[in-house]
Amino acid sequence: MIGFCRDCFWTGDQAVRRCPTCGSPRIVTHPQVGELAIAHMDCDAFYASVEKRDRPELRDLPVIVGGGTRGVVTTCCYIARIKGVRSAMPMFKAMAACPEAVVIKPDFAKYKAESKRILGLAAGLTPLIQTLSLDEAWMDLSGTERLHGAPPAITLAKLQARIEAETGLTVSIGLAPNKFLAKIASELDKPRGFSVIGREAQAFLAPKLVRILPGVGPAMVASLEKAGYRTVGDLARTDRKVLAERWGAQGLRLSELALGHDTRAVNPNEARKAISAETTFNDDLSRISDLEDKLAPLCERVARQARAGAVAGRVVTLKLRATDFRIVTRRRTLPIATQTAKTLFQVGRELLAREATGKPWRLIGIGIADLIDADSAGGDFFADLERKALANERSIDAIRARFGTDAMTTGRNLKAKASQEEP
């Protein structure tokens, strides 16, 4: 098989412009399309698409999911993207770029329910699904040809069509020999795309800027460009020892990625790397007491997620955003992994005290990283104080589960809520 039709699923051993069976132009052609089995599935503008599906009158309008003039864009539809709106963009900039946009407050309960539906359909094809977020996942369909009576590419195309028919939402799929290339492929033809990257990976990657590589953020881009590595091809042509000498293990990783290599398996059991929560203030805050009032409920939210997921974190991370949008992060490694709000707040306020020196801030966030399975830990895993805090917070979880989230709260949270309700 060299090509197939995404509408009637015709397959053929030659490249064609239109399907010889149904006449559709939606043809996928690639020399290896019948051999590859690693896929990345990405929902198209997921949150905005859910809102448009539920409110048909918004179909032809630019939609931004976010909130507040001082917040940021959670996601936006493709019409808004044409106007220059992007995820994580400050709302005031988004509204300046697209003043006619309809702004909708996120409804994460609804998005989680839709994610569960979509991933449930995918789980019927293979148990090897590794989710990255609510709207994207890797899949490994190796060895499923006999089970589904078709190569993985056809099985994925049928899944894509079924998701659209049953949920009213669309996904894009990237098919490749590994996870890295599959994720890149899924971005090539959005929305409703189906793209393939195979043996041509190195030539395809060569002209791309280094920022396309996972783990290469703005600081690493600057470091690479300063050293003369602007494109992926620049890295691919460099001896891996040279990169290792300068950037250590990360240099070796970049060398492999630049060549299109990625040995990571699709692992359904791979733990989340971090849990975090943040909030943007209506007005800039500089007093440490005001910042702590915002920090406390975030600590509770992160801790609840950790307990619900049966994980604990060894690293606490504090995030602050200044009025000029500069981001400050501070980390502390704990002697004992935590999943309690008490420890998170204690460490977070100590990190905060070093930064809250009178300067105004517009956002604060807290998170835990280096997660481990809390349930697999031995009886002495938690120190006495941590164990007592954990028992107390689990009791609160039980009460809230029975009587509602407002059944119990802290004095600090009541104070913060009262201040928000003041005229």
CA distance 303 to 342: 9
**Residue 411, pLDDT score:** 59
**Residue 223, pLDDT score:** 86
Within the chain, which residue ranges are assigned CATH 3.30.70.270? 31-199
DSSP string, 355-413: H-SS--EEEEEEEEEEEEEGGGS-TTSS-HHHHHHHHHHHHHHHHHHHH-TTSS--HHH
**Residue 299, pLDDT score:** 95
Joined tokens for residue 262: 């990625």
- 217 Cβ neighbours under 8 A, 6+ residues apart: none
Q: What type of residue is 388?
A: K
Within the chain, which residue ranges are assigned CATH 1.10.150.20? 202-258
In the chain, which residues have pLDDT < 50? 375-382, 420-423
- What class has domain 202-258? mainly alpha
**Could you confirm whether 136 is annotated as catalytic?**
yes
CATH number belonging to domain 31-199? 3.30.70.270
Catalytic pick from 136, 292, 386, 393? 136
Joined tokens for residue 31: 């020399």
**Residue 282, pLDDT score:** 86
Within the chain, which residue ranges are assigned CATH 3.30.1490.100? 274-421
The residues that bridge with 369 in the sheet, in sequence order, are 274, 315
> What is the greatest pairwise CA distance in the chain?
71
What pTM, to 2 d.p., does this model score?
A: 0.72
CATH architecture of the region 274-421: 2-Layer Sandwich (3.30)
> DSSP letter at 336?
E
CB 152 within 8 A of CB 36: yes
Q: What type of residue is 322?
A: A
